[in-house]
Amino acid sequence: MSRATSGAARADRLTPGARRILAVASELFYRRGIHAVGVDTIAAESGVTKRTLYDRFGSKDGLLVAYLETRDQRWRDLLGEHLAAVGDDPARRVLVPFEVLPEWLGESDRGCSFINAFAELPEPEHPGRQVIVAEKKWLRDLFHRELTAAGAADPDQLAVQLLSLHEGAVVSFAIADESHAAEAAHAAAEALLTAAMP
């Protein structure tokens, strides 16, 4: 795996073949893990030659970054839609990630693709790591922003607490088989928020 390629390619500007490759790779990386899936398999299941895969994405790492970036975008888009729907009240907006969670978790039992990818990418300089870390920090910052706007006490600490609740719910759902982890986390977030409001 070479370390080339920015994940520059926007998902919408992909060629038909590239779109299929990315779709197949996303499914396989998420379902089976990154190291467990070979480029030969991805190419074959995409109905494409390996040459095409390398022409479009440069390397397995390039394809991996594209996978993480599109997954990140999908998550932010979903959250964005719900945020737009609930309006301007920051005390309501801060709970939106918890409201979305059941829907997001219902798609699979494989947990969070970013947490999983983190497990397979130990090198801090790996380009995929930046996407992973940015995703978690983005959510924490979203919490922090809304908490501050809501006038909650100690938004720094509360943002980290909400982030932990959120990520932990995903883990508990996938690993401990806790089907109501999202609802429980939602209730806890609500309680912590209420206690922090003036």
Partner DNA sequence: TCGGAACTTCACAGATCAGTATAGTCGGGA
Partner DNA sequence: TCCCGACTATACTGATCTGTGAAGTTCCGA
Instruction: Give the footprint of DNA on residues 27-86 (CB under 7 A).
Output: 37-41, 47-52, 54-56, 59-61
Choosing among DNA, its own copies, none, which partner's interface includes residue 133 (Cβ < 5 to 8 Å by kind)?
A: its own copies
Q: For residue 142, give the amino acid letter.
A: L
Contact window for its own copies (CB under 8 A) among 54-62, 74-82, 85-93, 177-185: 177-185
* 25 lies in the site for its own copies, by CB under 8 A: no
Among 11, 17, 76, 149, binds DNA (CB under 7 A): 17
Q: Say how far apart CA 119 and CA 171 lie, in whole Å.
A: 13
Q: Minimum Å distance from CB 44 to DNA?
A: 9
Judged by beta carbon distances under 5 to 8 A according to partner kind, the member of DNA, its own copies, none in contact with residue 175 is: its own copies
Residue 100 tokens, joined: 């979305």
Which of 4, 8, 86, 133 forms a contact with its own copies (CB under 8 A)? 133
Compute the least distance from the CB of residue 23 to DNA, in Å. 12
**Is residue 116 part of the contact set for its own copies (CB under 8 A)?**
yes
Q: What share of the chain is helix, strand, coil (3-state, %, to 5)?
A: 75, 0, 25
Nearer CB in complex with DNA: 37/121: 37
Element (H, E) at 36: none
Which amino acid, residue 170? V
Q: Which amino acid is residue 100, in one-letter code?
A: V
Contact 167, 136 (CB under 8 A): yes
Cβ atoms of residues 39 and 53 within 8 Å: yes
Neighbours of 7 (CB within 10 A): 23
Amino acid letter, residue 78 = L
Specify burial of residue 113 (Cβ count, 10 A radius: 0-12, 13-18, 19+). Answer: buried
Return residues touching DNA (CB under 7 A): 1-2, 15-18, 37-41, 47-52, 54-56, 59-61
Q: Catalog residues that contact its own copies under the rule CB under 8 A.
A: 31-33, 35-36, 110-111, 114-120, 122, 132-133, 136-137, 140, 157, 160-161, 163-169, 171-172, 174-178, 180-181, 184-185, 187-188, 191-192, 195
